[in-house]
Structures are given as C-alpha cells and as structure tokens.
Structure 1
Amino acid sequence: MKRLNNQRIAELHRFLEKSGLSETLLPELLDHLSCEAEERMWDGESLEEVLDSIQQKVDSETLKRLNLERKNLLAIHDSLTDIVFENRNKSYGAYALRKDYGGHVQRATLIGVGIFLLIFMLPQLYARLNTDPSPDEIGFEVEFSPLTIKPESKPKPPVADQAAAPKNVKTIRFLPPLILSDGLVPEEQVPPTVEAIGQSQIGTETQDGEEVFTELRIPPAEIVQRPSVVEIAPEEEKELLFAEQQPEFLGGQEELVRYLQKNLTYPGRAARAGIEGKVFVEFTVGADGKVKNARTVKGIGFGCDEEAIRVIQRMPDWRPGRQAGRPVAVRFTMPITFYLD
C-alpha cells in the first residue's frame, strides 16, 4: 500500500488549518483524508489527482459546516457549567463553585441521611448499651390457678315452736242464718253478744273452756297530702286599638253630640282670649263599658283641655266593644271642638 510522505501530509494540514477547524476536529479529519488518499493511490490514481479531488470535494464551506456540527455534538456531552462559562474567565472562582456544586449536594445529602439514621437508631443503641432496666420497665408475671368455689350452705332458720293450742277452747255457737220453711224452723235461739264473740271462738256448739283474746291490729291510716292551693293573679285587661265590634255610646252618635252640647262649658279665659280649636282626648272604654284613663293628646290651653277631660270622665257607660264574642277594652281618641258664636 502506498503511503503519503510527510511533505504531502503537511500540505493537507495547512489546507485544513486555513478553514478554521477546531483543534479536536483537525487531527481526526487529517487522518481521515490521508487514509482516503492512500486508498485511491493504491487503486492507480496519481498523487496530484488525488490531492486536487480532495481539495475540490472538501471546500471551505463544507469544512465550516462540519466544524459547527462537531461543536454541537460536543456541546451535548459538555456539562451546563462548561456551556455557561464558555469564552469566560474560569479562574474567577464562580466556575469552580458551580462545577463542584453537584459534589457538595451529594455530600450534604449523605450527611443528612446519616444524621437522620443516627437520631432514629440512637434510642435502640442506648437501650442495647444500657442493660439495667428502670423501675417503670419491670414487668410482673401473674399466674392464675383454678379455684373450686363452693356455695356457702346457709343454716336453716330455727323453726319457732308453735304455741300449743289449748286443749279446751271456749267456743260459742253462731251459725249463719238459713232460709227454711215454717215447719223446719227450730226453736228460736238468742244470738250471742258482741262481747261473747270477742272472748270466744265461733263454732257450731257452745262449750266452756279457756278464753281466747284475739288482738286486732289496725293499720295506720294513710296521710294524704292535699295539694297546695296556688292563687292565680287575675289577668290584666288588655286594651285594643280596634275591635271587631267597636264600643258605642248609648243612643248612638246623635246622643253623644247632645251630651257634649249639654255638658260642655266654654272656659271664661278662652272666651275672653278668643281661643278656638280642637282638643284631642284619648280614653279607654273598658269591658264593663265604663270610661277611664282619659288624657289629653293635643290641646289648646286656657282651660279647654281640663274641660274636655271633665266632660269625658263624667260620661255614662258605653256599650262595650267585642272581640270574638267577648267584651274587651278599646282605646279611643275623640276630638272636642271649642268655637265661639
């Protein structure tokens, strides 16, 4: 196989160096082109033809594009730090800190995990090293053995000696009455007295013997507690402003006008001062029809207010108002007019 001499290789190196190839790409491309030239020379081509063909094929534009692609491929493998600090001052210190950042994070993670495991395992290590148990950690084992429980035999209560009945008890004849016909009625017998029955036992025959006194025990009477009487205060009479059936003066509205004209006296002070107007009097007609709680709502003074209240208080009983059929108290407001002829 024919080989290129050093002079021809130097020519190729200068040709590639003029294209601005990177230092990493130049040796690789020079080796590749030298091998291709030697193979073509082996096939019978002359050295000049091979070099001219290579220079035409590998022009400057192709070499620049190839150099750019080479840089892109190398950038993929470079770290982010190298890309950031490319063409910058790497001896400033920031480059070293950023380059060692991954190692610092790794060491910090390992130290943190170690401290966590140490804290987690510390109680168990302390328990293994400290073999003396504390009083609170001492356990007690309790064994239970089966027990046979027999019920206690209760002593039988002593049987009270029954009092021997007297052999000869005094009895008195007292039979229930029977309804018989006239022929079967025996001789009349006098019934025993209450005292005799109390000192003897009732029987079918009367015989002498020991007297028996029967003690009668009367149970105490139950004490019945009577419920205490609670006095209920009478409900206050509620005053309504309006009822289903309003109170009415006996005789109607005409009689009311006649009553006012007859009993109303014009005060002298108001007459001398020429005072005229209306006095509004508020009063209550109770459930019994009586007029009460009269007061002046709006007056004109000069004795007219007092005169209006006097006439209202001296009114006869009204017919009371009714609500749901029941008499109720109703509040009224009545205007009384004072005017001079």
Structure 2
Amino acid sequence: METTKILSASFLDILFDGRNKAYGAYELRNTYNRRLIKALGATGLIIATFMGASALKGAESKKAPVPIISHVVDLTKIEEPEKAEPPAPPPPKLQEPKKIATTQFVIPKIVQDKEVVTPPPTQDDLADVKIGLKNVEGEKLGNIAVPPDGLPDGKGILDVKPKEKIPEIFEIVQVEASYPGDWLRFLTTNLRGEIPVDNGATPGRYQVLVQFVVDVNGTVSDVKVLKDPGFGMGAEAIRVIKKSGKWKAAIQNGYPVKAYRKQPITFEVLDQ
C-alpha cells in the first residue's frame, strides 16, 4: 500500500494489504457491524413479540372464567316428611231413639170375676207393642223398625266404622319402588353434565327434585319436576328418568301397589 494512502485507509485494508480479499475473511470482518446490528434488531423484535403476547394473554386471563360442571352428580336420598295424622272427626250426634209403645207385664193371678179390677190386655192389644216393666206411650211397632237389644252401646245403635278407602296412588308405602340395577351409576352415566354450562349457569350447586309414578307392573309414568333451578337441568332429569325402563313396584301390606317416587339430583357448576 502506498504511504500516502495509509493515513486514510481502514484497519482492515491495512491488515489485508497484499492478501487475497476474495477468500472470505475480509468480507466477514468488513460486514461484521452490519450483521451485528441486524441480529440485535431481530432479537429485540422477538422479545417485543413475546412480551406483547404475554400482555394480551394476561388481559384475557382477567376475564370471567367459563364455568364447567363436574361429571360427578351428587345424588341424595330424599327424606320423606312425616305425614301428620288428620284429627279424628267428632263423633256424630246420637239421635234420641223413638219411644216405643210398651205395655206393662202383669203376672196373671186367678181370682173370681167379681174381684178383677183391671182386665188383662187382649192379644190384639199386644200385637203392636212391647212387653216391659211399665206402661210407656210411644209409637206402635208396626210403624218403626225396632233394633235388637243388647248391642255394644246399650242403646240399640250399631257402632260400625266405614271401611278405609284405598288410595289409587300411594304417597307413603312400606317399601319404596326400586330400580333393578345400580340406580346411582345409571344416573351419573346418563346425565349430561354440560347442560347447565351450555345454558349459561354460573358456578354453584343446583338441585332438581323430580317426582314420578311407578305402577304395579314397574312402568314409570307422570314424570314431572317439583323443583327446577332452570338452565335445562329439569328437562335433562326428566329425560334420564324416562329412559330408566322397568322398575320394581312399591309394596304395601305385602302386595305391589302404584306409588309416587321422588328423586333429588344436584348439579355442581365449577369455576374454571
């Protein structure tokens, strides 16, 4: 390199003076600063991108979480309330029996005709009257029906209680209607836990109370919801119970009867 150019030449030009600059080392050293700036710029861009994504994710995480429902359905046996016995009806007012014409019984005594004070009654006189210890004015036997003597109440009135009417559908029975298989497993398997969430239910516990009838043949009918919190849970409970098939009928006094059955089902919506 000429002496006049040394002062204005770069360090690389002086270093590679008289060497093969096309070999590659010169080019790498000459473009090092530009490549370093590009690399730093790309690194900063990537870091900024990650920071922006993290910020967006943090903002989304502050939104209300989407509730989910557990697929475990809490089933509890309903406690049947004790049915209070209705108060006994007041006893019917007893009507005073009608007085029956009664003729006093007189022990016959044989005397002379002239000594007879009161002649005995004839057979015609005794046809429509009772024979008693004294004379009583009243209605003739031909006009009323006379109950037999010696009845329990001593007044000639039978105290007969009417037969208890058998209900068409029993509300309380000795043995409840039962599902022939694993009832809890059937419900937890067939109930769709996502129904409340799909209908907008917020986190919490919701109880549905369903009533249905099981007849003597085990057929389920008249399925209806007594307590429905909404969000499609009542309709879902009805769908599953109608799908349950044949049951074992309830038992009363040793015989199968048609009876009501109640089933509470609790859905739990969890916070995500």
Q: Which has the larger radius of gyration?
A: 1
Higher strand share: 2
> Relative contact order (C-alpha < 8 Å, sep 6+): which is higher?
2
* TM > 0.5 fold call: no
TM-score by length of 1: 0.28
More helix by percentage: 1
TM-score normalised by L of structure 2: 0.35
